[in-house]
Amino acid sequence: MTFLTITAYIIIPVYTILFAWGTNWFTLNFSILGSLADRKNLFLLWGIIVGTYFYYVLKCIIRTLPRNKKETVFTTSALLLLALAVTIPYLPDSQPFHAVLHVFLSFAASISLMISLYLVTWKLYCMNQSAYRPYFMSLLVISAVCATLFFLTGIVSSALEIFFVLSSTFLLHKLYIKVCRPGITLKYYQL
C-alpha cells in the first residue's frame, strides 16, 4: 500500500471524522469548529493534509493532460485559498471582517477545487468516454449530494464538508490510479 493510498483511505477519512467527532454535523461546520481554542491547530493540520493531498494528486493527473493551463490555475488557486482560509480565524462576534474573509476564502477554495475536478474529469471523459464516464458521473453525484445537504440544512454543514472531502478524496485516488498508475489497476483486476 502506497503512502497516497494510506492518506486517501485512512488518514484523511479518520482525521476528518475525528475532527468533527462529538459535534452536531448538521448545525456546525469546520469553520466554527476550527475557531474553538482546542481545535484551532487541528483545523490547521487538517487543512495542510487535505490541501497537500488534493494538490499533489491533481498535479500528477493534470501533467498527463494536453493544454492543462486552466486545470493548473484552478488547482493552485484552491490550495492557496484553502491555506489562507485555515489561517484566518472565524470569529464573527469579535472579528467580523476576518470572519467574512474566512468564509469567502473557504467558499472560493471549494469552488476552485470543484472547477478543477470538473475540468480534469471532463477533459479525460472527452479523451476516452467509456473509460472516464464513471468518474464524471461520480462527480455529478457528489455535486448533487452536496447541493442536497446544503438545501436540507441551509448552511455549509460539517456533514456536507465531510461528504465532499471524503468522496472527492476517494474519487481522486481512483482517478490517479487510472491515469498515473495504470499498471496497478491491471494488477488489481488480475487477482
Could you report the per-residue pLDDT of 130-156, keeping only the tens digit for each? 999 999 999 999 999 999 999 999 999
CB 146 within 8 A of CB 160: yes
CB 25 within 8 A of CB 164: no
User: What pLDDT, in 10s, does the model give residues 52-94?
Assistant: 999 999 999 999 999 999 999 999 999 999 999 999 999 999 9
pTM for this one? Answer: 0.90
Q: What is the mean pLDDT of the chain?
A: 93
177 CB-side CA count, 13 A: 18
Q: Which residue in 128, 87, 131, 127 sits closest to 105, CA to CA? A: 87
Residues 6+ apart with CB under 8 A from 160: 29, 146, 149, 150, 153
Domain total for the chain?
A: 1
How far is it, in rounded angstroms, from Cα 156 to Cα 29?
A: 7
Residue 108 has pLDDT above 60, yes or no: yes
Residue 123 has pLDDT above 90, yes or no: yes
SS3 90: coil
Residue 154 is classified by DSSP as: S
160 grid coordinates:
456536507
How far is it, in rounded angstroms, from Cα 69 to Cα 40?
A: 34
* Burial profile 13-33: b = 16 or more Cβ within 10 angstroms, e = fewer: bebbeebbeebebeebbbbbb
How far is it, in rounded angstroms, from Cα 110 to Cα 78?
A: 7
Domain hosting residue 33, numbered range: 3-190
Residue 183 has pLDDT above 90, yes or no: no
How far is it, in rounded angstroms, from Cα 102 to Cα 109?
A: 10
How far is it, in rounded angstroms, from Cα 32 to Cα 28?
A: 6
How far is it, in rounded angstroms, from Cα 69 to Cα 129?
A: 22
